Structure 1
């Protein structure tokens, strides 16, 4: 059927306000200057919601986040006043007026490019539905021409990021729509080049890949179309662990079978040109908002430390290590390699160098790394390392078993089908290493140790010694400069002989020369000769290193030497920059500047970048030992104690601030009176942009500080930090760390007679055991904590205990006791002004109300709880409340409203990376869509929930999803598919004493 002639598009004036690229305001004679910073951010927020009211609170949050100054609202008013003057000079009229509770920017339609873009795309969609494809394509090209880069590029305000990402996504969707329309107009040959470019930019976008396959096939390039599919499939499997979606698979099948007609549409092998794409029945379509996330991601860990640019090793050592790891052509591959040698010979450097060289080609599925701390007083346990590796491989903390043997089994299972390189640095013994070896020969293992670890079976051994003369000269040349070495070759040879060709000692001496270009190498030889009595022992182990280290140490200024000594008190794997400020009690704006002299002298290494953009540092183990010796010899106990208190107080301040940012305040947590030390506010702001990410990154340091503070007698800080860290432990499922830190803190407060700390730790441990379904020990701890809090008249503590005791009672079916305890907890949290505590009681107690048949009251409580969490911007609470609300609505026979609530909860979980929450909510959404009769969509969601839970090895959760999916298949007549799903789960139900579920599965199997 012939199309109608194209109609002329009405002329449009170019908009005065452009957001689709850099923010710009156009005046009659060109762009107007928008002052960067606050005015730019506020104008962007008003333009993104043009002709709508934008609240003052929203603008304050946009500019200052969680810590606005007292004058924030006044400063917003000043910005608005200045923006009004700016808009008065714009090419087309616009005005900002005060409209409670904020402001509204009013302007005529089409004066903001983002709004104009949205209108043009909507017009195009309408024209496409009417069959007017040419006009629709013209509208979409006009819309695309409005873009001058990413939305609000260069603005740098992360709080606007969600809205801008939405517009960037709409841009790409509009491009896909325009290409589909042009494919329908038989423009496949003209589109092939553009589509190849777009697929290159967005390789995981299946819609674009399908369109490229269609264009290539229609252009007579069938082989290239199939190759495009295979590339996409390989990429999806490698990056995400996913197969292509059904449309792309059907398209490939149609091309292979020759069923894709010359005029078929992309992604629909049987549709002819000009025919609208068939839509599933309305009952099968969930709203757009319910679209679930892609399936589980195949996590590829990249944990290797940074490589050393000027690395030098004994000739042939790197090649020998590579051959041992890869098998050197042996089809069965290589085996584990143990690198041994005395301190300072470069074991770790060699391991990291070779690991980087082999990473991509030989071990593409990732690299795991752990410092086993074998030469420290607290070597890492195999269970600790296994927990860390499992989390790096995508297993949430809640799914990691407590038993070391079960962790090892899960670890070997996870590695069985992968090619991963495992680097175990500084191993203490064979017993520490054995549980960490993969079961698969496809994986590689490098172990470094001072011990030879002769009891490890089937390993290659590589022993390092000092460098030969040529390699030592090469290392010196790389550090101080090749011309300088050649100019003084005899002095260079004398120098490397004097330091015994030990790589670490040579690096230290060379660093002093590199920092002092006016010194000759001969002068350094003479300096070493002046300290002959120490240097004579250069080849005799630790004393030798002490002599070499003293050369660099003595060259530092007094303040730098003192800081080096104080830094040695830290028990952290790496050192953050702010730690120097705490130890020196220096609050300068750029705290890492304090460490520059130590880095220049190579007494500290830079090993990474932290969230603030500043560097992370690390001691070499021998330098750490040397610094601690100097600390004991030179600094008084009083000075050491004060510095340690500031260091511990810095960790405490940052952990407490992270909790505040997650929860919206100091809610559901008790604090002690221990000293805090705060880095400068701008530094803290940068560091805690993502508070949970900071807690994750500093997990090891924070947990060690709990025990370290207890050892130093700071019992009040020990319990305070331990209970504050539940912010991390609870979200990430680090239940073993929760228990370890709390038992250590409990020992400290009990010994000190600290009643408040004892009550707080017992209450928190009770909460942990409750989550583990260990009701008896949980109740004992909570009741003993409650007794102490009653004595201390501590309302928040009483509320925490009563809330958790109510949950235990409710689980045991004692709803009367639960209701009484919840009512008391609500009074306690109200008395302590704890909004999150109140909201948690409102959410949990709905179970009691439903048991009493008071569904309306339950929903009102959930609505109130959500409003509290929303006001505090506590997303975890919002997600939990929405999920509970969805479940309540479904129980009350309101599946449409349940769908909305559960979908929103799913978005919160996706945004926070809560893999477990996503799996649960996909399951809930499957129930909801089943109740709505949308069985096809329900089946898809169940399958995605199953994939998510199996990805994290959640056996009981996977079994429950399989049971619901099997019910659905059986109801639709697919009994064979139902039985295939259930075969593996009956045993799981029996093992976990889930009798009702086991009986249902056996009934569906026909065996019950």
Structure 2
């Protein structure tokens, strides 16, 4: 891709991986060779998704788009191993880690040129919002200069070639945007030559042509500007049979009329991504780059069969049809077992390339007893879009507003599976026509305006035979055509029933199709009191169930006790009390006959499983018939004890031991040790991946009367809830555990849950609720003589006192808490207290005391390997150094902590550290560096839509600009910040802003 705008760009030295051009890897000693072919494709795919997991199935599709060989997965593993070895030998600071359901490339944030491009474009957006157009244009030119040719040039993959073309389109959009900014700055004469060369290179891009017309007109060359328009009109007519767009025609008319507004106003922006349905132009002149791109779709069905006309109808509706302004909305309806979810997933996979910003998937569980609320699903979607938990609002309407704002400028596909009602899904619909939504439901959802409804019916004979042949075998069906036709008639064309019967045949290759017809007919006759559809499914399920051996039938029944959306294989071991090292071996016979679906692969190599809801109900019926309540309770207790055991180990690996948490006497069940070690290579990620199952386990423990297990698991999960800001889950699980422990008269459990709820209210900044919960918990722990519980409560009560300005009372509580933590040997609890109380001593000016406490805390955190505690204590240490005038040391400390929080993907911590570094630079008199740090902190806050945090940084920036004698932009920033403070009831910050406003007013008066 020749680029006349940049000559021989000097690339940043920190970039290691370059895909904005031919693939290139640079090690400390020069380029690193990546063998062409499979390794090149895999690395290119990992780089486009660096920081996100790339599924093994996706890599298989990239390398073998038609039919992968039997050894395909092994070949992928070999390629990954060779890439790792190449990086290690070349000294490249990157690693490829195995992470379900595939692989993840981990490297520095600016080590990939694509990511650096995205960051620079995002930074330019902030500059534009602040009115700094010249700096924004310069930043964009630097971003465009990263290109060395067509993106991913030479990679032998059609899919990656299309991906590269989309990224090349992003580059051109950035070029057009900086040209538009520079035109608005009055640089028209200087730009004519550059824009003309670009128009010659991309003659069909109307935005470029409009910019050339405007540059010529403003340079006094109206005749040439009009000729540029006429040349474009001829080209469009000759090449495409089209006329110029409305905006270009309006620009021509304005030039002909001598409109004076053209001398100062740039033409309106064209859509950033021309496609079948273009996203509407954003109010800001820059597109949103660098945002999260979730890919949440379940796996597609390999042997999928459907009516092509139905697929075409759905595709047309989702891609816009006749109305380019309306949201593409398809509702797939039908009875159980008809294939609604499989159809939705298949459609979404086929349209993946048309929605490059990703796919959101939500199982709404509308057919179950407790459908997922819109509020909860919005919380999940917002986190997937990169919004940290603490920033997500509590109110459903506010969440929906944030969700629609994030999707407004994106092309994203949303799949809402198993919806219960219009009310449930209405808040989940994007407001932008650039997105599309697929809904499945057993109800027609007639009140959804503009929806294209697709009603699935049973298969006809041809479709049924096709599916039967794909599952049971083509030759087998060809040998018995009459029996095959009779079989599909007996099943009645219901996809689920047909798939179960076909799987049963596949598992019994010696059975004839005729014998299956006879068996199924007998089973249907036995169940003839049922409705036709129910009878068809029940007959096929009964036939398969009765053909299983005794152990497999027992596991099928017990496995129905696991209520999660996707269940790991070790659960089978817990249910059966079987400790074999590879527990998935127990489940595979059920997968073979389609009674369970294998839906994902863990990093251990073990599979995750899911019931079709109809099959789960059948298995539950069999459970009630064959297993006593005592047997069911014992199996449930083992399963829940397994969840507790692994969660307990995850907590211990994060904190360096069993610290800062109480333990109950509930029974544990330990999965195989080697299996758990593999699961917990990243314990926070395991907790996050399993959070749905873990929260359901809390509910199940409460329902089963296992109150000790319930409160113990609940409080253990705070490790996840705090790390990810999952306040909704925190509150819901704890309220359920509180009900269970109160009902059981479990006073210690009640106190433990209340103490944890107090911590949650503290994190949510609800001090009164926190104080009430902690006071009740403290009273119970005092009655019981529970020293560890008293320490936890006093620690949090001290923080409440500190926030209220009651420093003396806080220090007394901290002293008591430290003493109690010492008595029970909780070294991390004591170190946390030292870190928190050091802030009071620092605030009082006792820097030496604060420093001594922080050094002791750091020794503890480092000795046990508690990284979060170390980062928090180091940040406080940096603040102490700043207070003591040790500016260089503070800069080094805080820069190190910044790297730590970035490595942990703690974007909120990144915002705090950038702000602290801005304070350090300001204290050192480094105006430019301070401004840059504050502006980067502001970018972070705006990216996660933390309006309160952004206002605080604007106040810092306004203070800095005022000190530097730049009152006009300072006043603008201050006005924005004050408006936010007042709207959010931030009284202290409002007073600070008003004080600065008075100072600026005095400065303005003195200047005049």
Q: Could you tell me the TM-score, scaled by structure 2's length? A: 0.73
- Any conservation in 2 of the 1:573–1:700 contact (CA below 8 Å)? yes
- Any conservation in 1 of the 2:524–2:535 contact (CA below 8 Å)? no
Q: Distance in 2 between matches of 1:1006 and 1:732?
A: 43
Q: Distance in 2 between matches of 1:875 and 1:338?
A: 47
Equivalent position of 1:868 in the other structure:
860
Seen in structure 2, the aligned counterparts of structure 1 residues 148 and 757 have a Cα distance that, compared at 3 Å, is closer
Equivalent position of 1:483 in the other structure:
475
Q: CA deviation at 1:630?
A: 0.3
Seen in structure 2, the aligned counterparts of structure 1 residues 435 and 151 have a Cα distance that, compared at 3 Å, is closer
Equivalent position of 1:176 in the other structure:
none
Equivalent position of 1:422 in the other structure:
414
Q: Distance in 2 between matches of 1:879 and 1:413?
A: 33
Q: Is 1:763 equivalent to 2:763 in the alignment?
A: no
Q: Distance in 2 between matches of 1:890 and 1:254?
A: 49
Q: CA deviation at 1:530?
A: 3.1
Q: Distance in 1 between matches of 2:726 and 2:405?
A: 21
Q: CA deviation at 1:332?
A: 3.1
- Any conservation in 2 of the 1:209–1:232 contact (CA below 8 Å)? no
Cα deviation code 1:99-136 (max 9, x no counterpart): xxxxxxxxxxxxxxxxxxxxxxxxxxxxxxxxxxxxxx
Q: Is 1:234 equivalent to 2:170 in the alignment?
A: yes
Seen in structure 2, the aligned counterparts of structure 1 residues 789 and 908 have a Cα distance that, compared at 3 Å, is same
Q: CA deviation at 1:777?
A: 2.1
Written as runs of structure 1 = structure 2, the 5 A alignment for 1:574-613 is 574-613=566-605
Could you say what secondary structure the match of 1:676 adopts?
coil
Cα deviation code 1:338-377 (max 9, x no counterpart): 111101111111111111111112x111111011001111
Q: CA deviation at 1:895?
A: 1.8
Written as runs of structure 1 = structure 2, the 5 A alignment for 1:846-885 is 846-885=838-877
- Any conservation in 2 of the 1:469–1:496 contact (CA below 8 Å)? yes
Q: CA deviation at 1:572?
A: 0.6
Q: Is 1:517 equivalent to 2:500 in the alignment?
A: no
Q: Is 1:498 equivalent to 2:476 in the alignment?
A: no
Counterpart of 1:355 (choices 323, 348, 362) is: 348
Q: Distance in 2 between matches of 1:566 and 1:727?
A: 30
- Any conservation in 1 of the 2:500–2:593 contact (CA below 8 Å)? yes
Q: CA deviation at 1:899?
A: 1.0
Q: Distance in 1 between matches of 2:404 and 2:307?
A: 34
Written as runs of structure 1 = structure 2, the 5 A alignment for 1:161-200 is none
Equivalent position of 1:124 in the other structure:
none
Q: Distance in 1 between matches of 2:996 and 2:731?
A: 36
Q: Distance in 2 between matches of 1:912 and 1:555?
A: 50
- Any conservation in 2 of the 1:412–1:439 contact (CA below 8 Å)? yes
Q: CA deviation at 1:233?
A: 8.4
Q: Distance in 2 between matches of 1:609 and 1:236?
A: 39
Q: CA deviation at 1:894?
A: 2.0
Equivalent position of 2:335 in the other structure:
342
Equivalent position of 2:310 in the other structure:
317
Q: CA deviation at 1:523?
A: 1.8
Q: Could you tell me the TM-score, scaled by structure 1's length? A: 0.73
Q: Distance in 2 between matches of 1:624 and 1:157?
A: 31
Q: CA deviation at 1:515?
A: 1.6
Seen in structure 2, the aligned counterparts of structure 1 residues 711 and 166 have a Cα distance that, compared at 3 Å, is closer
- Any conservation in 2 of the 1:611–1:694 contact (CA below 8 Å)? no
Counterpart of 1:998 (choices 983, 988, 993) is: 993
Q: CA deviation at 1:976?
A: 3.1
- Any conservation in 2 of the 1:687–1:694 contact (CA below 8 Å)? yes
Could you say what secondary structure the match of 1:531 adopts?
helix
Written as runs of structure 1 = structure 2, the 5 A alignment for 1:660-809 is 660-809=652-801
- Any conservation in 2 of the 1:862–1:885 contact (CA below 8 Å)? yes
Could you say what secondary structure the match of 1:689 adopts?
coil
Q: Distance in 2 between matches of 1:342 and 1:171?
A: 48
Q: CA deviation at 1:722?
A: 0.7
- Any conservation in 1 of the 2:641–2:667 contact (CA below 8 Å)? yes
Equivalent position of 1:327 in the other structure:
320
Q: CA deviation at 1:326?
A: 1.1
Q: Distance in 1 between matches of 2:949 and 2:755?
A: 29
Could you say what secondary structure the match of 1:299 adopts?
coil
Seen in structure 2, the aligned counterparts of structure 1 residues 911 and 253 have a Cα distance that, compared at 3 Å, is farther
Counterpart of 2:629 (choices 626, 637, 660) is: 637
- Any conservation in 1 of the 2:778–2:789 contact (CA below 8 Å)? yes
Seen in structure 2, the aligned counterparts of structure 1 residues 686 and 980 have a Cα distance that, compared at 3 Å, is same
- Which is worse superposed, 372-381 or 771-780? 771-780
- Any conservation in 2 of the 1:426–1:449 contact (CA below 8 Å)? yes
Q: Distance in 1 between matches of 2:978 and 2:146?
A: 41
Q: Is 1:371 equivalent to 2:307 in the alignment?
A: no
Q: CA deviation at 1:979?
A: 3.2
Q: CA deviation at 1:167?
A: 12
Q: Is 1:980 equivalent to 2:916 in the alignment?
A: no
- Any conservation in 2 of the 1:325–1:333 contact (CA below 8 Å)? no
Q: Distance in 2 between matches of 1:429 and 1:909?
A: 41
Equivalent position of 2:523 in the other structure:
531
- Any conservation in 2 of the 1:966–1:981 contact (CA below 8 Å)? yes
Seen in structure 2, the aligned counterparts of structure 1 residues 504 and 166 have a Cα distance that, compared at 3 Å, is closer
Q: Distance in 2 between matches of 1:660 and 1:743?
A: 24
Q: Is 1:464 equivalent to 2:400 in the alignment?
A: no
Q: How many residues align?
A: 779
Structure 1: gaps (5+ residues): 1-17, 22-144, 159-163, 173-203, 214-227, 260-294
Equivalent position of 2:923 in the other structure:
931
Seen in structure 2, the aligned counterparts of structure 1 residues 402 and 896 have a Cα distance that, compared at 3 Å, is same
Could you say what secondary structure the match of 2:351 adopts?
helix
Counterpart of 2:952 (choices 953, 960, 965) is: 960
Equivalent position of 1:826 in the other structure:
818
Q: CA deviation at 1:555?
A: 1.2
Seen in structure 2, the aligned counterparts of structure 1 residues 459 and 588 have a Cα distance that, compared at 3 Å, is same
Q: CA deviation at 1:778?
A: 1.3
Q: CA deviation at 1:1006?
A: 4.2
Cα deviation code 1:540-587 (max 9, x no counterpart): 233432221001111111111100100101111111111001001111
Equivalent position of 2:294 in the other structure:
301
Q: Distance in 2 between matches of 1:872 and 1:687?
A: 21
Could you say what secondary structure the match of 1:985 adopts?
helix
Written as runs of structure 1 = structure 2, the 5 A alignment for 1:640-655 is 640-655=632-647
Q: CA deviation at 1:766?
A: 1.0
Could you say what secondary structure the match of 1:845 adopts?
helix
Seen in structure 2, the aligned counterparts of structure 1 residues 826 and 382 have a Cα distance that, compared at 3 Å, is same
Seen in structure 2, the aligned counterparts of structure 1 residues 871 and 20 have a Cα distance that, compared at 3 Å, is farther
Q: Distance in 1 between matches of 2:95 and 2:334?
A: 51
Seen in structure 2, the aligned counterparts of structure 1 residues 902 and 253 have a Cα distance that, compared at 3 Å, is farther
Q: CA deviation at 1:296?
A: 8.8
- Any conservation in 1 of the 2:527–2:535 contact (CA below 8 Å)? no
Could you say what secondary structure the match of 2:361 adopts?
strand
Q: CA deviation at 1:857?
A: 1.0
Seen in structure 2, the aligned counterparts of structure 1 residues 253 and 534 have a Cα distance that, compared at 3 Å, is farther
Q: CA deviation at 1:254?
A: 14
- Any conservation in 1 of the 2:599–2:607 contact (CA below 8 Å)? yes
Q: CA RMSD in A?
A: 3.5
Written as runs of structure 1 = structure 2, the 5 A alignment for 1:81-160 is none
- Any conservation in 1 of the 2:87–2:93 contact (CA below 8 Å)? no
Q: CA deviation at 1:256?
A: 6.6
Equivalent position of 1:625 in the other structure:
617
Equivalent position of 1:474 in the other structure:
466
